Structure 1
Amino acid sequence: MSGKAQSGYSYEFCDASHSSEVLEALHEFHSSGLFTDVTLQSSSGQLFHCHKAVLSARSSYFKVMFTLDMRERLNDTINLPCINGEILGALVSYVYTSKTSITQNNVQSLLEAADLLQFNSLKKACESFLIHLLDVDNCLGMHSFAELHVCSDLQHEALRIILSRFEELTLQEEFLEVDFQKLMGILETENINVWKEVTLLDAVIKWVAHDTAPRIDHLQELLKCIHLEVDDACLKTALDLRKGCSENKLRSLIRTSLKPSKGFSQCCKKLTCSLYVIGGYYWHPLCEVHMWDPVSNTWVQGKDMPDFERESYNVALLGPDIYVTGGYRTQTVDALDTVWIYNTDSDEWTEGCPMITARYYHCSVALRGCIYVIGGYTTGAPTQETEFYDPLKRRWFPVADMIQGVGNATACVVNDRVYVTGGHYGYRGTCTYEKIQTYRPDINEWSITTICPHPEYGLCSVSLNNKLYLVGGQTTITDCYDPERDEWRQMCAMKERRMECGSAAINGCIYVADVRPLLFGSSQIMLENMIIRFWFHISSKRETNQQEFFIFSSVNHLNCYHENLRRLDPAIYNSKLVSVMSI
């Protein structure tokens, strides 16, 4: 090769292991104390010898400290009195290895320290961990913690639980200890989710009665927050005469102070759960997403699911995300392990981590911050395999097998347990399973809880008021199971059979969506047995096939649903429903 040709030759070399080797070398320098030029001291006096350059590379707090004209710049030892030795050690380990262990015991202290020292990636990881732990018994404290440390995602998800499960929240000890400003802020929120007219009033009374002396002066302000109109002068006079009132006395005083013609219905708020319909089948698989707003009674179409040749999948809601798992290709009937995730806040789809086992006609539920996928078909007979997805670890994990593998069954969560009802078993699903299988995640164990009075497949189960409701299938029967009493009750029948329907609960009502032939269309709500429990259905046109919603209520009145539900075109079946809290 000529010299001229060689001079034009070049090769851009990139060492793929360079960054990991540098990090490993820095870790060795730290461990041996080589080239260290600064010492961090914890509140307990523990010393950690570090490198200014390394600390500055991961923390803008230290970068500013070591570059600007600050007193600490000239000191060899930096005292950190707000951080204990264990947490500071975890931070230093993270800086030199990119790893640290986050646990329930250290996550809050670790986040506080990461926030103070501006280790942003670690702070975000701790925030995600706390979101994973969110529940109704800790959401108030988590929300306050998130506000203090500017954790927007944690604050958002804590608020979602506060608003969507407000009635449950009022039963928690944490609610009784909440401060006045926080309670007032919650009650003033437009989309607090209550469906009983007196829920907000009961919450106010319970909070005031818990510590009457310092809280009684806030009662009138709180009543204004829930739009309950009372005679202020009358109520103030009555309260001045009765310091230290019980809940019943407070309720009586408020009743007597109500302005004429102003009842408890004035405190009813908007219903802000939305109903999402995912996919379905209309001559071919549908990939559409439709959202129904019960307040405005309008439909809005979301972004289509990217995988449009897929059917017999299942869906589960976790926070703002709807997980669509499994299914099969229409042309090949090959089981799929694919997962797509729809974010209801951003109206965006992302592809998730594939399942361990490809399956279709399976069940899926959200439990303890994870997505559980249960049973279904893989090839011939239904599988017993169960697995769960941890969004934090971004991995699927196998758990105990079901007692009996079933396909086309239904599952829901009641009191932190998974109840799987009905479905087919045997080769090609030739038999209908009559027993209800229950999974306890705390001990990773399945058991038989009870026998279903009307064994079915293609039905839906819904959790409402700590009870299990079974709707749809080949009959019009609605069954209700109370796990605490181990009792079954048969409720009023649906208007028509609903095979492979979708269902969800919103504001004390069960919605069931599917298609059926109609001889006579009607634009009126049809009510049946309005005294205690009833079903009603709505249709809007005289057509042979149309989408309908059947609604079951467990109360004797529905303030917000005495209007026509608008029809969703086209008429579809095998669609999946979830209810999502809007905030």
Structure 2
Amino acid sequence: MYISKKNSSSNFIEKLMAKIFSRYNKQSLIDVTFKVSNPTAVVPAHRLMLAAASPYFENLFKGDQGNNPDIEINDIDSDIFKGLITFCYTGEALITVNNVGAMLKGALILQLDDVTNSCVDWIMTNISEYTLQAAYTLQRETQCERLKEKLIEYEIKNFMEISRLDEFLSFDVEKLQRILESDNLNITREEDAYDAIKRWFNYDVPARQESLPLLIACLRLTQFNADFLLTHIQPLPGCELLAHQAISWIREPAARTKINMRFTEPRATCEKTLLALCHSEMNPRVLQYNKAEDKWHEYASLEIDYTHYRTVLKEDNILFIGGCKSGVSSNIVRSWNIRNKTWQNLCVMKQARCGHCVVELDGKIYAIGGVEHGSEGKKVLSSVERYTPSAGWEFVNSLTVGRFDASAASLNGKLYVLGGRNVSGALKLVESFNPDSNTWTSCADMTECRVSPCVAAHKGHIYVLDTNSANRRQNVEHYDPRRNIWSKICCLNADWARIAGMSLDNKLWFIGRPKSDDRSSVSVYDEDNDRWVKKCSLPNVDRYASCIVPVALLSSK
């Protein structure tokens, strides 16, 4: 009968190892005995077997005490040592939550790489039971490179959780730099990484000031808008040039080949897309834009029993603020989690509002103006209130001119309220709010009155167009806050726009309906050629709201 060499060799090795282990159990042909302390124990073994399994034993037996029949071991507990010797014969080690730390330390001493790897893998697989803090402590004690590598992988994958821990504040700059450089850093927006750096930096400003530019350079700075770069990055010590380069990259595409930027593309986890909220019915739909297909797909259907609310994106949630039910204005505030598709009631506004505008600035949500419908009729509001999770809603200074059906945008650390109407009719008035001084300032008027205009902050300007127009083409203008002037750009070929403007992928997006078309379409502004490029279509509904979200934030269900 023919037996292949492969099968024959495998069977021979299995039989050989079984006989060797049998000799070990019977303490037959033993040629070395280890005397181990804590507690005192005697562990017999075979030199050849241990030398083959570990460079530590090979070097030990070649050394001065290599021929001694008895060798003392003082830096490994006896139970752990017995387990590691058994591994040299069987290739198996029993690892538990109670012994994994000591097992790893012993394996590192005896240079048993397979046991080291098994211990590290066990720790990371059972991190909730072993605890992350214990893993950090063990890594510091052992300086185990594999554990260090696995912890960094874990930190990249669980960055949002890790960045909130006290342990994060003690990370050295080299480790934090490596984490932040990763294209797979698990964040939903680049601002998450910025916030983590600021928390780390503020923990010890004098000692970390020199390292701050190294970490800021790890951010995907071109994914921020110019407003964020000017107000958050540029003021940081040593980061002025980084902010300037990123702003130039955003505003001057033709000069990009001359700008030395470390990272110009978004992280793999931070690709962004559009969500559109369709308001054509009491149960609106949320549509998701697929850039690769240039198509819209339904993401979720919502159940809402009131209308005329305003929406704004806050971290992983869309906030539904105010509105109207049965002809009465509401101060209700609800939050819809994009990832989990769940609702939560938030603190109500101090004043019921309908026809108001909402906007986010520096993590705070502002509800501005509007009307209050009640038993005494309709009241035009000039009041403004601001929401933070810690303080709830609180009033700030009121508008100079009360109004409703206006729109708002944030730019360069300020809020801008544009157009709308009051008892005198439609307005072209623009006001800006400085949150630092709690003051409103009049700005240059728009070139024409606009009611519920679409607005977008984009590359240091505010773009605006009407939601409806009697003309075949939409007049589009933009505001330069540094010069306090309005200028017109190429008209948008649409009857009206139904969605707030958006800045995505460093481009300006609007949605409108072209003449003689029964569907709304997305238009993207080509700045180089001052023209609008039509993209995909959307079903026609009464009104849209929009937001830009990371693709990783969207549920896969």
- State the TM-score, normalized to the length of structure 2: 0.53
Partner of residue 272, structure 1: 271
CA separation of 1:110 and 1:316: change in aligned 2, threshold 3 A: closer
| Separation (CA, whole Å) in 1 of partners of 2:164 and 2:273 | 36
Contact 2:319–2:334, Cα closer than 8 Å, also in 1:
yes
| Separation (CA, whole Å) in 2 of partners of 1:370 and 1:276 | 21
Deviation string 1:268-317 (CA, Å, 9 cap, x unpaired) is 99993211111322xx444211111324423232233331x332221122
Q: Which runs of 5+ in 1 are unaligned?
A: 1-59, 65-108, 117-130, 149-157, 179-186, 188-192, 207-221, 227-266, 520-543
For 1:278, the aligned partner's letter is L
CA separation of 1:159 and 1:504: change in aligned 2, threshold 3 A: farther
Contact 2:455–2:500, Cα closer than 8 Å, also in 1:
no
Partner of residue 359, structure 2: 365
Correspondences of 1:435-450 after superposition (within 5 Å): 435-450=429-444
Partner of residue 216, structure 1: none
CA separation of 1:318 and 1:196: change in aligned 2, threshold 3 A: farther
1:409 to 406, 409, 427: 406
Contact 2:431–2:441, Cα closer than 8 Å, also in 1:
yes
Partner of residue 86, structure 2: none
CA separation of 1:492 and 1:582: change in aligned 2, threshold 3 A: same
CA shift, 1:200, in A, is 7.4
* 1:549 is aligned to 2:549: no
Contact 1:508–1:554, Cα closer than 8 Å, also in 2:
no
Aligned identity (percent) is: 17
Correspondences of 1:127-526 after superposition (within 5 Å): 139=195, 141-142=197-198, 164-165=223-224, 172=234, 205=260, 272-281=271-280, 284-307=281-304, 309-329=305-325, 332-379=326-373, 380-393=378-391, 395-426=392-423, 431-475=425-469, 476-498=474-496, 501-515=499-513, 518-519=515-516
Deviation string 1:429-485 (CA, Å, 9 cap, x unpaired) is x51122111111111111211212111102111111111111124441111110101
- State the TM-score, normalized to the length of structure 1: 0.51
Aligned partner of residue 451 in structure 1, secondary structure: coil
CA separation of 1:565 and 1:351: change in aligned 2, threshold 3 A: farther
Contact 2:312–2:547, Cα closer than 8 Å, also in 1:
yes
CA shift, 1:202, in A, is 5.5
CA separation of 1:416 and 1:177: change in aligned 2, threshold 3 A: closer
| Separation (CA, whole Å) in 1 of partners of 2:476 and 2:284 | 30
CA separation of 1:497 and 1:459: change in aligned 2, threshold 3 A: farther
| Separation (CA, whole Å) in 2 of partners of 1:466 and 1:367 | 15
| Separation (CA, whole Å) in 2 of partners of 1:445 and 1:370 | 16
For 1:377, the aligned partner's letter is V
1:579 to 520, 542, 548: 548
For 2:536, the aligned partner's letter is R
CA separation of 1:356 and 1:442: change in aligned 2, threshold 3 A: same
| Separation (CA, whole Å) in 1 of partners of 2:320 and 2:519 | 25
For 2:197, the aligned partner's letter is G
Contact 1:503–1:576, Cα closer than 8 Å, also in 2:
no
Aligned partner of residue 492 in structure 2, secondary structure: coil
For 2:303, the aligned partner's letter is P
Deviation string 1:474-509 (CA, Å, 9 cap, x unpaired) is 441111110101122111111123165432221232
CA shift, 1:340, in A, is 2.2
Q: Which has the larger radius of gyration?
A: 2
CA separation of 1:399 and 1:112: change in aligned 2, threshold 3 A: same
CA separation of 1:201 and 1:140: change in aligned 2, threshold 3 A: farther
For 2:452, the aligned partner's letter is G
| Separation (CA, whole Å) in 2 of partners of 1:399 and 1:466 | 25
CA separation of 1:581 and 1:556: change in aligned 2, threshold 3 A: farther
For 1:551, the aligned partner's letter is V
CA shift, 1:403, in A, is 1.1
CA shift, 1:400, in A, is 0.9
| Separation (CA, whole Å) in 1 of partners of 2:530 and 2:276 | 26
CA separation of 1:472 and 1:552: change in aligned 2, threshold 3 A: farther
Contact 1:376–1:382, Cα closer than 8 Å, also in 2:
yes
Deviation string 1:108-144 (CA, Å, 9 cap, x unpaired) is x99748989xxxxxxxxxxxxxx9xx96995472486
Aligned partner of residue 331 in structure 2, secondary structure: coil
For 2:274, the aligned partner's letter is L
* 1:568 is aligned to 2:538: yes
CA separation of 1:568 and 1:500: change in aligned 2, threshold 3 A: closer
For 2:312, the aligned partner's letter is A
CA shift, 1:376, in A, is 0.8
Partner of residue 6, structure 1: none
CA separation of 1:295 and 1:350: change in aligned 2, threshold 3 A: farther
Aligned residues: 346
Deviation string 1:501-557 (CA, Å, 9 cap, x unpaired) is 4322212322222446x43xxxxxxxxxxxxxxxxxxxxxxxx52122222232349
Aligned partner of residue 579 in structure 1, secondary structure: strand
Partner of residue 252, structure 1: none
| Separation (CA, whole Å) in 2 of partners of 1:293 and 1:174 | 36
CA separation of 1:268 and 1:366: change in aligned 2, threshold 3 A: closer
Aligned partner of residue 444 in structure 2, secondary structure: strand
Q: Which runs of 5+ in 2 are unaligned?
A: 1-129, 135-162, 171-186, 205-216, 241-245, 553-557
Deviation string 1:33-59 (CA, Å, 9 cap, x unpaired) is xxxxxxxxxxxxxxxxxxxxxxxxxxx
